[in-house]
Structure 1
Amino acid sequence: METVQAAGGTPAPATTDPYRPPQIETILRQLREVVLNARPMPLSASSMLNKEELLGLIDEANVRLPEELRAARWLLKEREEFLAKVRREGDEILELARSRAERLVQRTEVVRTAEQRARHLVETAREETRRMRRETEDYCDQKLGSFESLLGSTRDAIAQGRRRLQETVLDRDRERRATDAADAAREASTGRPGGTFFDQDAETGEP
């Protein structure tokens, strides 16, 4: 039975590039192809699977999992740094708004207009800061949700592969025992040790 390259070779070295698509998805697709293309066993709902191929893909998935987790941790770190940057920028915007408001208030001839303008600037700055924070939180939540779903499907695929591998081993044992029993029955019926010989001379009474 042919095996995919991932099963026989050494897993590619892990990378910490957070922008590279998750390799776990590729491994899951390979596991699915192995199961879908497995040759069915006669008179059984099970299929014959390549043990080395499945174990190779499972081992590579185990190698890749820490890499995906590192990417998730990187995303969390980037989220915190980005939020800190947004807070700093928000504080700067607020400080600039207050400074402008103070300068406007100092002009006595337009005190009332300056106060209204100052309040508007401050509120606009606060709303912009809130909007940036909401967008950042939504983006990070989506990414973390995809990582969570990916890790869950990886665990399910590995568990399914192990179950199918165990079923294949049991089916092969049953098939071997059935073959041994059939061989023993044929040996008994063809007159080998333990069987009955047919003597034509004895039947016809000829010397």
Structure 2
Amino acid sequence: MSKAAEQGESLVAILEELADLVSSARAMPMSASVLVNRAEVLELIDSATGVLPDQITRADSVVADAESVLQRARREAGTIVEKAKAQADELVSKEAVIAEANERAEQIVSEARASADKLSREADDYCDRQLAQFEIDLNSIASQVAAGRARLMERTRGRSHSPSEAPDGGDQE
């Protein structure tokens, strides 16, 4: 058995012996008081006092260790909480940046679509104007071709009806 355990047991044993001494002491008539041997009681109290400082020292040591562990646990908990807050802040910050980037990307895509739609409309309008001008030019050329063919036909008809008109140059264009 260790010395500490023996001292703990000896303190309990000393207190039990003191209790036995008081309970077996002679009672005083007409009183709750008892007669005890002063020397025996003082010897038991001295023994208990001798054992008690070691136990108090050990108890103080246990309490001090417990305080030290508690302080260390509090510091570690504080550090963990601070790290968690920092990570949470970083994640919130990153999420905010991501959300802003997504919003900006959507805005850019929307602007690009609008620009593409505008360019497409402008290209369609340009093509329509060019085709309209081409149609006007073709109609003009077609009219000129039709007029040229009509003159050619008139001339060929005129030759077939009067062959003698050509030498005097009366109807040449």
TM-score by length of 2: 0.46
Q: Which has the higher contact order (CA 8 A, sep 6+)?
A: 1
Q: Which has the higher helix share?
A: 2
- Structure having the higher Rg: 2
